């Protein structure tokens, strides 16, 4: 498989993961807030992203899938991609984000599919990329995932402001379907198909815990505060823009009437501003990690992250 084909294949799969993740973490909290959902409930809705944190539990079973004719990784990735498309299409045909239980189930299902797809995609990346290509592959992983988040978050929110719920979510499902085409037409290398599955799953998990030790605690907790805080940031922006527009008009909008201006401004923030900050952060983080070392860089950025979250909390009180 040529390097260009490998990068196209992996880029499409990582973009596929960013699409629903961007929608659920960036666009959906805004839509829920516009529907009048309380801030505590919106914060708790972030728990629906837990499959991403727990995917290591079922990862060994995913590695044991055998499909010599179809491809070991393709046999996992393609059904999960199609399942995500089907759930999103069903969600698009619903009345909107006001059916909380149906929406929650759909979000959870897509997150399970995306997190499981990530397991197989990471394994595929390790198997098809040579050691010399892995640095490029890692950069592609971050970049494609971020692009997917921008499409699923900023673009879908912008489209919702100009059309409606059905068109916006169907557009995201369509993008996900298009991103599935490369894995559909590309065959896995023969050496991937002949890989032997691990004998059992639980010993693999035990080995991982034994080797990583305290680092597992760091992995589980380091981003938790930022995860919940940024999940609420969109709702704070929504409230701020709503208050500003209400002050300009001199009266609030009638119940059920939405202001496209709010969604357009949020789409710009989540798209242009968010992507630019993420890009700068990735560059600075890479330089700092190389300069200070990983441990010191984690400490420095952990402190900065704490200060930023505290500042955001104080700003929302004013």
Q: Which long-range contacts (CB under 8 A, 24 or more apart) does 75-80 make?
A: 76/116, 76/117, 76/119, 76/120, 77/13, 77/117, 77/120, 77/121, 77/124, 77/183, 78/180, 78/183, 78/184, 80/113, 80/114, 80/116, 80/117, 80/120
Averaged pLDDT score across all residues of the chain: 81
Q: What is the pLDDT of residue 247?
A: 84
| pTM confidence score | 0.75
pLDDT tens sequence across 114-144:
999 999 999 999 888 888 787 778 778 878 8
Q: Return the DSSP state at 213.
A: T
Tokens standing for 284?
A: 């600075």
Q: How far is CA 220 from the centre of its chain?
A: 17
Neighbours of 215 (CB within 10 A): 10
- Tell me how far apart the alpha carbons of residues 115 and 56 are, in angstroms, rounded to a whole number: 10
pLDDT tier at 109 (50, 70, 90 boundaries)?
A: very high
Higher pLDDT, 75 or 30: 75
Q: Return the DSSP state at 96.
A: -
- Tell me how far apart the alpha carbons of residues 16 and 121 are, in angstroms, rounded to a whole number: 11
pLDDT tier at 98 (50, 70, 90 boundaries)?
A: low
Kindly give the residue spans of alpha helices, DSSP state H, lying in the chain: 3-22, 28-34, 39-44, 50-54, 59-62, 74-93, 100-128, 134-150, 156-162, 165-185, 190-193, 202-212, 214-221, 224-249, 260-268, 274-292, 294-317
Judged on CB neighbours under 10 Å (0-12, 13-18, 19+), 37 is middle
CB 152 within 8 A of CB 26: yes
What domains, with CATH codes, occur in the chain?
A: 1-318 (1.20.1250)
Tokens standing for 294?
A: 């990983």
């Amino acid at each position: 498989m040529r390097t260009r084909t490998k990068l196209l294949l992996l880029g499409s799969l990582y973009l596929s993961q960013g699409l629903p993740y961007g929608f659920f973490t960036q666009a959906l909290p805004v839509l829920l807030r516009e529907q009048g959902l309380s801030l505590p409930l919106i914060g708790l809705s972030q728990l629906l992203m837990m499959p991403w944190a727990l995917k290591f539990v079922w990862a060994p079973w995913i590695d044991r899938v055998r499909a010599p004719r179809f491809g070991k990784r393709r046999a996992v990735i393609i059904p999960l991609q199609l399942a995500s498309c089907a759930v999103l299409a069903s969600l698009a045909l619903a009345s909107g984000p006001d059916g909380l239980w149906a929406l929650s189930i759909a979000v959870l299902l897509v997150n399970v599919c995306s997190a499981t797809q990530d397991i197989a995609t990471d394994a595929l990346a390790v198997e098809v990329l040579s050691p010399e290509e892995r640095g490029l592959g890692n950069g592609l992983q971050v970049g494609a995932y971020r692009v997917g988040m921008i499409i699923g978050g900023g673009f879908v929110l912008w489209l919702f402001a100009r059309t409606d719920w059905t068109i916006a979510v169907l557009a995201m499902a369509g993008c996900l379907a298009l991103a599935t085409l490369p894995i559909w037409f590309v065959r896995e290398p023969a050496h991937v198909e002949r890989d032997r599955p691990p004998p059992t799953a639980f010993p693999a998990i035990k080995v991982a815990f034994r080797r990583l030790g305290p680092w597992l605690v760091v992995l589980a907790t380091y981003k938790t505060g930022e995860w919940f805080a940024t999940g609420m940031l969109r709702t704070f922006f929504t409230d701020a823009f709503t208050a500003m527009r209400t002050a300009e008009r001199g009266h609030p909008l009638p119940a059920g009437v939405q202001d496209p201006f709010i969604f357009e401004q949020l789409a710009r923030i989540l798209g242009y501003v968010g992507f630019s900050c993420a890009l700068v952060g990735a560059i600075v983080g890479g330089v700092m990690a190389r300069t200070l070392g990983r441990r010191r860089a984690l400490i420095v950025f952990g402190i900065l992250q704490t200060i930023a979250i505290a500042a955001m909390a104080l700003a929302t009180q004013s």
